[in-house]
Amino acid sequence: MVAIGAYEKCKQYINLHSTDPDTKKEIFPCITISRQTGSGSYEVSEKLINILQSKTKDPDNSWTYFNKDLITKVIEEFKLPGVFKNYIAEDKYNHISDAVNELLGVKPSEWTIVHKSTEIILQLARYGKTIIVGRGSNIITSKLPNSFHVRLIAAIENRLKHVQDVFKYSKLEAMDYIKREDANRHKYLKSHFFREPDDPTLYHLTINTGLLSYEESAMVIADALIKKFPKSFSWVG
């Protein structure tokens, strides 16, 4: 779920940072968000951007959110038609069909896509002022000194309500969606990065959005980020 104009912001961000890659610039933090399905990663990210933008040095260089826009960027790199973007979404991995699809020219091999995704995530993280959701971004960027990793969780009843509200699903449809999405995200991480998304040692913070509102969750993340990277922020007493 991405607001109208979000992809334009992503393109502006990429254009801004790719015009002069050799220029020495201050390194700003990058936030990765891993999440249980229905825990409100988009809502938290939007509120977090508003908070951080008001406190960050160089306000003209905006904080930018990447999720499926990142997938679109990968598609562009491979010059594939946009209609095939779902082939490389987290929930569309299918190891059996790799050879056939590659032979037919429908999509690159899974490992080629994962490798390219990794390259793009690392570059976005190095630029900083990014919130990258999913795609194993917390593991990919784990060795970068400017990275900050968050895991969002919530009780199943909270997640069900969120999914029902967003997609207008019945309770049964919402439950099926949550189970499918969580299973595919787990498979993606386990298959390619050999880690478990529920491993608490992968994150600086784990936040229960069923116990904290999205606004409160964003405030907790922002406060921790500012304390960890104080030089990147204008001090507000």
pLDDT of residue 87: 44
Comparing CA positions, the residue from 14, 37, 224, 225 lying closest to residue 134 is: 37
Strand order in the sheet with 147-153: 64-66, 130-133, 30-35, 147-153, 205-208
Block means of pLDDT (10 residues each) for the chain, 237 residues, are 49 52 65 93 91 77 74 56 44 40 44 67 82 87 90 96 94 94 88 84 94 96 91 66
Domain ranges of the chain: 6-14+27-229
Query: Any idea what the Cα angle at residue 38 is, between residues 140 and 124, rounded to 5°?
Result: 25
pLDDT of residue 189: 84
CB half-sphere exposure, 104, CA atoms < 13 A: 7
Q: How far apart are CA 60 and CA 232, in angstroms?
A: 14
Residue type, 125: A
Q: How far apart are CA 148 and CA 29, in angstroms?
A: 7
Angle between helices 68-78 and 6-18 (to 10 degrees): 60
Query: Any idea what the Cα angle at residue 89 is, between residues 63 and 165, rounded to 5°?
Result: 75
| Residue 9 in tokens | 């912001």
pLDDT of residue 143: 84
CATH 3.40.50.300 fits 6-14+27-229, yes or no: yes
pLDDT of residue 67: 78
CB atoms within 10 A of CB 2: 15
Q: How far apart are CA 12 and CA 35, in angstroms?
A: 26
pLDDT of residue 74: 55
pLDDT of residue 17: 53
Q: How far apart are CA 54 and CA 60, in angstroms?
A: 11
pLDDT of residue 129: 86
Q: How far apart are CA 113 and CA 27, in angstroms?
A: 27
pLDDT of residue 22: 45
Residue type, 103: L
